[in-house]
Chains A and B, each alone.
Chain A
Amino acid sequence: MQLTMKKGHFILAIILFLISVISAFYFFDYIDFPELVSLPYYAASSLLRMSAAYLFALCFALSYGYVAATNTRARKVMLPVLDILQSVPILGFFPAAVLFFIGIIPGRPGVEVAAVFLIFTSMAWNMAFGVYESLTTIPKELIEAADSFVVRGWQRLESLTLPACVPKLVYNSIVSWSAGWFFLVASEIISAGSGTYKLPGLGSFLIDTTYSGKIALMLIGLSVLIIIILLLELFIWRPMQSWADKYNYEYAGEKRPGEFILKTKAIKQVFRFIFDVFSNITVSLYILFHGHKIIKSALKFSGLLILFLGLAYIMYDFVISIVKLLLNLPTDAYSIPLAIVYSFLRLSAAYIICTLWTVPAAVYIVKNKKASSYLMPLMEVAASIPAIALFPAMVVIFIKYGSLDIAAVILILLGMQWYLLFNLIAGVRSIPKDIDNAATSFGVKGKLYWKKVLLPAMFPSFITGSITAWGGGWNTLIVAEYITYKGQEYHLFGIGYLLDKATFESPNSSMVLLSVLSMSLTIVFLNKLIWQPAYRKALVKYKFD
């Protein structure tokens, strides 16, 4: 076994461990052992929920992406739908989903399904986009080769379609998985309608311990969460990424700087095995459905029917609730526009701070190889900690010493900054060596170099990063503007607060619907008005080809 590990990780792991041990002893009198003993059980339950959601997301992504990429007629509907799903704050729809699932499956199983569903929604869209993009960017010659050499049916699926998806799917899985942690914490304590439902897990443990003021226990829970994230990173995601490199069309063969990878034959074989099993299942399903004309047409028919009925039902429901809403507008409704402005200002403040530090940081990290070998792993670990898990701790500090507004902006910042930072780093790295060399040899340096080389080169990734950062920001908003600590409720006026209030404090389903709708509309509007034109411009003008 070849273990290459950067010092930064070791140091960090040791520090974390020490902090958790010291804090545990310091607060020893707080700790009740039954809670601590059940921590492994909590961790296992949370992990299981994540895995279940991931598996569903994977299946969804493959089928949705495949259909969207191959069926041009379906694509016209499927892509915009995916786009909206991705940019809408899913957390806001959650109470409705919980009530729906509990209605079908009563008791704890219903809540479990609802939690898995919430985590699923945070993972699936981005992965489906990954599949779609992979399938539509297969080199033309490769498709022609498959066409002219009669590679079709299940064989094409196994040798072209699935392998082509691997690199993007793995990369997006990592992003999805960390988004999943964020939603896990939110999903384990669910309030819907009149009841609050709690699931045993790390997320509920964190929230519970904070709200009841057991800080030591909360810190231990947080350490456990971070250790789990680190272990997964080390034993699953990193090796998987290096395994996925095999499926890239162009492979430089060089290690990304500042990265450590656990390379073992065993792990590679495990991935190979999983991939084989997965592709075998897909292939046999494919044969089953495509082999028999009757099954195929029956499937197509029933699929269309379900889709149609589902859409019709949703439309009906939607129209009815809108009509009801307009006939009987809640008094809070009039404060929605102002709330959105307040929230938007909070997001903007966080975004400005975020831009100010990530742009120079990204350049520094890429340009200083030595610093990056320490900083990159540190940043990656920091980024993998879900911001929401830190919020309880921050609130405790800010309630005592400062204002909640600062805490909210910091939380939003935490939910935004990593997307921007990592995108910018990738942007700086993508500057071709030739261009850098040309700049050096013609004496382009300092201010001029920043203005004419660095900033334009970073622009496309700055836009992509900003889009995802704002997406993350809107979701964080929902937890940032409303909190209960030691039985007391603290809030900031904003759309997130209105939504939480209508969900938890004084349940009002029409207010929930209104807040979510206006928030979604704002997001879609901002996307269409600012980000999409900016992105198009960035692609035309600033892309290296």
Chain B
Amino acid sequence: MLVEIRNVSKTYETDGTRIPVLENINFTVEDNDFICIVGPSGCGKSTLLRIIIGLEKPASGEVLFKGKVIAPDNPKVAMVFQNFALFPWLTVRENIELVLESKVLHEKEREGMACKYIKAVGLDGFERVYPRELSGGMKQRVGFARALAVEPVLLCMDEPFSSLDALTAQNLKDELLMLWADKNMPPDAVIMVTHNVEEAVYMANRIIVLSPRPGKIVADLRVELERPRNRKDPEFYRWVDKVYSLIV
């Protein structure tokens, strides 16, 4: 058992009115899980992810990582952001080296690791380029490289493909699945928030469906489809329909 989410609830307060966002969320993440969290917009998916990695505190309940309460600076957890969150004044390589600074003390070693992951996401040749000179897809590759470079046990992603074009997204998805399946490479487990049901069925081995606000777990499904999955497969469509019917 890698992560345990216990009775997590969250409310926001605006102008004195309390808006419940999440209610009583319970589930566990095992090694080798690839979990997709889906649900209608505004159901608190992103908030849940931020709570899981410790960027936000739950109103009640707790998140345990390997038995301990999660902290945002946990080096075993990494995050890929929806809008990339790259430092505009640092080059691709510097962006990655920055997050290694507290883990890898030797400068040469940092450089080597940064280059390794730049290569892994297919960005070799762009080490010295600034993020603004890259296309959206390439920026998100840097986002992936940065998250993978810290060699996390758990990788969290907040709609990482939503600002990319379909083709780039597909390539990145396949590369990510390969990395996840590779036992020698991080990460062991992945949690991804998405509003794209097809994407969830394509990638996940578990899909958690949240209800409209306040978000509650409606279903926790184990997707038993052979990999690599085929979108044209009728069985694939049955799964997509099933998840859709749970959301609506």
Contact = CB atoms under 8 A, between A and B. Distances in A.
Physical interaction between A and B: yes
Contact of A150 (B73, B83, B132, B146): B73
A163 interface: yes
Interface stretch (A50-58, A136-144, A391-399, A520-528): A136-144
Given A160-B87, A246-B89, A251-B88, A149 B82 contact: no
B77 interface: yes
Given A148-B53, A152-B73, A152-B102, 14 more contacts: A141-B84, A141-B85, A142-B87, A144-B81, A145-B81, A147-B73, A148-B72, A148-B73, A148-B79, A150-B99, A150-B102, A151-B99, A159-B98, A249-B88
A253 interface: yes
21 contacts: A141-B83, A141-B84, A142-B87, A144-B79, A144-B85, A145-B79, A145-B81, A147-B73, A148-B53, A148-B55, A148-B77, A149-B79, A150-B73, A150-B75, A150-B102, A151-B101, A152-B102, A155-B98, A155-B101, A246-B89, A247-B89
Interface in A125-147: 139, 141-142, 144-145, 147
B82 A141 contact: yes
Interface string B138-166: 00000000100010000000000000000
B78 A149 contact: yes
A138 B53 CA distance: 21
A386 to B, nearest CB: 33
A538 to B, nearest CB: 22
Interface of B: 50, 53-55, 72-73, 75, 77-79, 81-90, 98-99, 101-103, 130, 132, 146, 150
B156 to A, nearest CB: 8
A141 B85 CA distance: 5
Contacts of B54: 148
A141 B55 CA distance: 11
A248 interface: yes
User: Which 7 interchain pairs have the tightest Cβ spacing?
Assistant: A141-B85, A149-B99, A145-B85, A163-B89, A150-B73, A148-B79, A147-B72
Interface residues of A, number: 23
Interface of A: 139, 141-142, 144-145, 147-152, 155, 159-160, 163, 166, 246-251, 253
A159 B88 contact: no
A481 B84 CA distance: 57
Contacts, number: 68
Nearest to A163: B89
A136 to B, nearest CB: 17
A266 to B, nearest CB: 20
Most buried by B among A145, A148, A247, A248: A148
Contacts of B84: 141
B87 A163 contact: yes
A144 B54 CA distance: 10
A150 B86 CA distance: 14
B88 A248 contact: yes
Nearest to A141: B85
A139 B87 CA distance: 10
Contacts of A160: 87
Nearest to B50: A144
Contacts of A144: 50, 55, 79, 81, 85
A149 B71 CA distance: 11
Contacts of B89: 163, 166, 246-247
A163 B81 CA distance: 21
A353 to B, nearest CB: 42
Most buried by A among B79, B88, B146: B88
A469 B78 CA distance: 49
A147 B98 contact: no
Nearest to A142: B85
Contacts of A248: 88
Contacts of A253: 132
A149 B156 CA distance: 12
Most buried by A among B77, B102, B103, B150: B102
Contacts of A247: 88-89
Contacts of B50: 144
